[in-house]
Amino acid sequence: MEFNRIYNENCLDTLKRMENDSVDLVITSPPYNMNLRIRNGKYCSRQIVKELSTKYDGFDDNLPINEYYKLHSDILRELLRVSELVFYNVQIVTGSKRSIFKMIGEFNEFLKDIVVWDKGHAQPAMAERVLNRQTELILIFDKSNAISRQFSQGKFKRGTFGDIWNISRPTKKSKNHGAVFPEELVKTILENFSEENQVVYDPFSGTGTTAVVSKMMNRKFIGSELMENYFDYSIERLKELDNQLF
Ligand SMILES: C[S@@+](CC[C@H](N)C(=O)[O-])C[C@H]1O[C@@H](n2cnc3c(N)ncnc32)[C@H](O)[C@@H]1O
């Protein structure tokens, strides 16, 4: 597998070509299934919600709940085949929550810990009597030693690093993508759980934040992104970084 490259394809296709234990760390944020909604106590079909806001430009983000679950389950199984540690960012919204809770059950023996990412400001709820959402979760999976809470690769000293990370997401949406990682979030993970020259994979690369920060911090990266427009933008970001570095 070529390093320092983002592939414009479905991550399951990239994963098929990756060997067992060929990356050191996965950092990723799968689509939130933001546009699957509830009407009269039932999930709405694609057609009904088609006209509603979409977080991604050109990506429906609107899978039926069982398909959305299967996507996670298939990909997470593959991620744990290729990597020891997986940082999997999820947001509990209507279209994702059943799938997330089920995934925590199915993969419980690999789930090592959960970090709460506090974004510093809450998104207003879409309906009456719904909690405003200020946090996302980072599920941390460990292939061989999830029974312990100790990270064999951890770089932090006892008592110095907590499970609530206060990292604000810009209040203004990126003009290129509705749900980008703050660079600070990727930096926090790389600093505390990886070393220089290790290989980092992001199967849902989006605008390429994991790749950009990995490059800044002298890690090798691999990414996969389905949508051509996000893929193109991530290549632009990497080129810009090259220009700054040289
Ligand atoms: C939440 S966004 C990731 C944003 C990214 N962390 C960033 O900083 O820009 C999820 C991305 O996954 C992409 N995607 C959805 N399904 C995919 C698949 N099967 N394979 C690869 N990419 C996929 C979407 O196009 C979207 O850009």
Q: Is 226 in the pocket of ligand 1 (CB under 6 A)?
A: yes
DSSP assignment of 3-19, as one string? SSEEESS-HHHHHHTSP
Position 53 scores a pLDDT of 47
Out of 204, 216, 231, 235, mutate this one to test ligand 1's pocket (max ligand atoms within 8 Å of CB): namely 204
Taking the centre of ligand 1 as the mean of its atom positions, its distance from the CA of residue 131, in whole angstroms, is 26
Domain boundaries, the chain: 5-245
What confidence score (pLDDT) does residue 65 get?
Answer: 87
Nearest atom, ligand 1, residue 205 CA: 5
In short, whether 33's Cβ falls inside 6 Å of ligand 1 is no
From atom 12 of ligand 1, which residue's Cα is the shortest distance away? 204
Neighbours of 160 (CB within 10 A): 7
Average pLDDT per 10 consecutive residues for the chain, totaling 246 residues: 96 98 97 82 65 54 86 96 98 91 97 97 89 96 97 96 92 62 96 98 97 97 96 96 82
Span from the CA of 36 to the centroid of ligand 1 (angstroms): 17
Residue 59, SS3 per DSSP? strand
This model's pTM is above 0.75: yes
pLDDT of residue 64: 85
Q: What is the pLDDT of residue 173?
A: 53
Whether residue 177 has its Cβ less than 6 Å from ligand 1:
yes
- Angle at the Cα of 89 from the Cα atoms of 156 and 82, rounded to 5 degrees: 80
Task: State the pLDDT at residue 59.
Answer: 61
- How far apart are the CA of 14 and the centre of ligand 1, in A? 14
pLDDT of residue 156: 97
CA 158 / ligand 1 centre spacing (Å): 34
Is 87 touching ligand 1 by the criterion CB < 6 Å? Answer: no
Are residues 117 and 168 in contact, defined by beta-carbon separation less than 8 angstroms? Answer: no
Reduced to 3 states, what is the DSSP secondary structure of residue 238? helix
Predicted local distance difference test score (pLDDT) of residue 209: 97
Domain 5-245, classified CATH 3.30.465.10, yes or no: no
